[in-house]
Amino acid sequence: MNMDHDMHHMDHDMHHMDHDMNGMDHSQMMNHGGHMMDMGDMKKKFWISLILTIPIILMSPMMGMQLPFQLTFPGSNFIVLILGSILFFYCSTPFFSGAKGEIKNKKPEMMSLITLGISVAYVYSVYSVVANDILNITPKVNDFFWELSTLIVIMLLGHRIEMNSIMNAGSAINKLSKLLPDSAHLISENGDIKDVSTNKLAVGNSILIKSGEQIPADGKIYDGSTSVNESLVTGESRSVNKQTNNDVIGGSINGDGTIKVKISGTGSSGYLSKVKNMVQEAQSSKSKTETAANQVASYLFYAALVVAIIAFVAWSFVRGVSFAIPVTVTVLIIACPHALGLAVPLITSRTTSLAATNGLLIRNKNALDGINDIKYALMDKTGTLTEGKFKVNGYVSLDQNYSDDEIVKIAASVEQNSNHPLANGIAEIAKQKGLSLYEVINDTQITGYGVKGTLNNNDFAVVSAAYLDANNIKYTAQDTQNYLNDGNSVSYVIKDNVAIGFIAEGDSIKKGSKAMVQYLLSQNITPVMLTGDNKDAAAKVASLLGISEFKAQLLPEDKQKNVLSYQKQGKTIFIGDGINDAPSLTQSDIGIAIGSGTDVAIDSADVVLVNSDPNDIVSLVKLAKNSHRKMIQNLWWGAGYNILALPLAAGILGFAGIMLDPMVGAIVMSLSTVIVALNALTLKIK
């Protein structure tokens, strides 16, 4: 593991872009049955429906049951009709559009069930107003405006709660697009250089990339050498040395050198575009996942239709059509999912709230539904299980003329003008020990090996073992073997071609990583490490954490392929932090991003660990399991009463003179809604 000193250099700033952990886009969109719902429009319709529902409740009986607070007067039924019509034709449009999409997909679910209920309630209620107040038919026909208005307002409330707890996953695509610079230095055929818009670059163009600039397109270096920070793109915690004929990736950051590059890929053919396509494809496949609530609603839709048709046909023969119609309508109204509409959103809201207080940002609650079926937890290494920055783990003098601290002082002095992570690590330990640095002159980079400089008229260098090998400088490899075995990178301090000491630095394991791995194992979830880093470093981290399965030196597409492979064996979690993790985060059944990671990773994930502590996954899994259990309970409370209410409303016991009174059905329906709400409030993490 004698790694190049410069191979570990990375930009500590790493473009950790700002991300607001609490901000939510209120113009965001959600897909239901193929129809896109606008959050702002949903909010407006909810408030209008709530305002209109209040007078309807005051003036309209609940399934024929007069309540003490109700107010009726001549013409009040017509006012209720007008208010109900506004509710039906304006406030219900999201449900109609959603139902249209579901029917088009030949998969009626929640939207279809709601549309069926409110349509029957509205049409029959209009008929009741005509029959009672215009034709004066006796006996009076019950209207269902109370049920119509409350169902609409409750369902809109449920969707508002649900949408407020889910952020827009699509923004990951936008963040990827922003990684390329706006302009590039184009080299013309006569050698002139002019700045052009990045989107005007084409394959075969030559471009100049100065030190510190972002690389605007994929290409091959034909002049110059440098080190490139590819950590944002590949996830590897080091800068990579580049020289003539080496490839560079658009979106990565150029180091100290100036290079000329011939473009090999841009736009749709570039590396970032391929990552973007992988994210889009994974998002598309995940959006097709059916939730438990929609499954229950689908069963209810068919059950209500079948029971209603049977009831209509049967009672038409027995008592006539005039008796069969109210029975049929009652069946369809009772199937209205008041409680079901709140069952999942209330759990979603409670789960999101509990998660936020425990350092978890849940962006897609639906993804957590399958937590009990998770078999594999796939995870990135650098920045996820490890800190992603280098720390001095040891320093030793090899020359009796210099103390151990003097070796640190010399190394920090030589590298004091460098911003490489290894240099930063050495500077940090020197600062901690209160060492005052020497003034350095003539400090220059030794390309591919390290840095040299002059201190008090003596020439020193801080370099890798490869430099010693290349220049036949003697050293004893055994001196550093223990540090190398622990996954450290070793830098030698040399004077006059003699190694006088060394400093070992490593990427330390995060405090919560081991506890997280042990918990996953206790839950029969197999942890698997997938990393772009080298096999030695991966093996060491895996060994320390107790991870038996790991795969190293992976590209982003390799990671996603591994996710797909494991998904064939069981449901997966993926935990990561880099742009290279975005496709895997999206592809997995549950994607978990580290909060200190890139915006693209965060926007691709279902859950964000705000505190960047891997051990927070323990809280997440516990919360998700409890949330799933509560959701199943709520679905039973929300829809379970229909198992009895539907056949009773249809008159299955009519032969014995027992018919379900609509008022009883309304009371039971209201009770189930209250129970669902109370059950959601008892959700806890432990």
Active centre residues (catalytic): 380
Rounded CA separation 246/271 (Å): 15
| CB 409, CB 537: distance < 8 Å | no
Which two tokens mark 356?
Answer: 């936020």
Rounded CA separation 500/479 (Å): 12
Determine how β-strand 386-397 pairs with β-strand 440-446: unpaired
Q: Give the C-alpha distances (Å, rounded to integers) separating 45 from 113, 160, 203, 364.
A: 19, 10, 50, 24
Rounded CA separation 6/572 (Å): 36
Residue in 308, 298, 302, 299 with CA at minimum distance from that of residue 333? 308
Which residues in 159-183 are b (16+ Cβ under 10 Å) and which e?
bbbbbbbbbbbebbbebbeebbbee
Rounded CA separation 460/401 (Å): 15
Residues with Cβ < 8 Å from 243, sequence gap 6 or more?
221, 224, 225, 447
Q: Within 13 Å, how many C-alpha atoms sit on residue 551's CB side?
A: 15
Residue in 297, 359, 295, 345 with CA at minimum distance from that of residue 166? 345
Element (H, E) at 372: none
| CB 574, CB 592: distance < 8 Å | yes
Which two tokens mark 92?
Answer: 């219900």
Residue type, 616: D
Q: How far is CA 14 from the centre of its chain?
A: 21
Q: Within 13 Å, how many C-alpha atoms sit on residue 58's CB side?
A: 11
Residue in 289, 348, 292 with CA at minimum distance from that of residue 627? 348
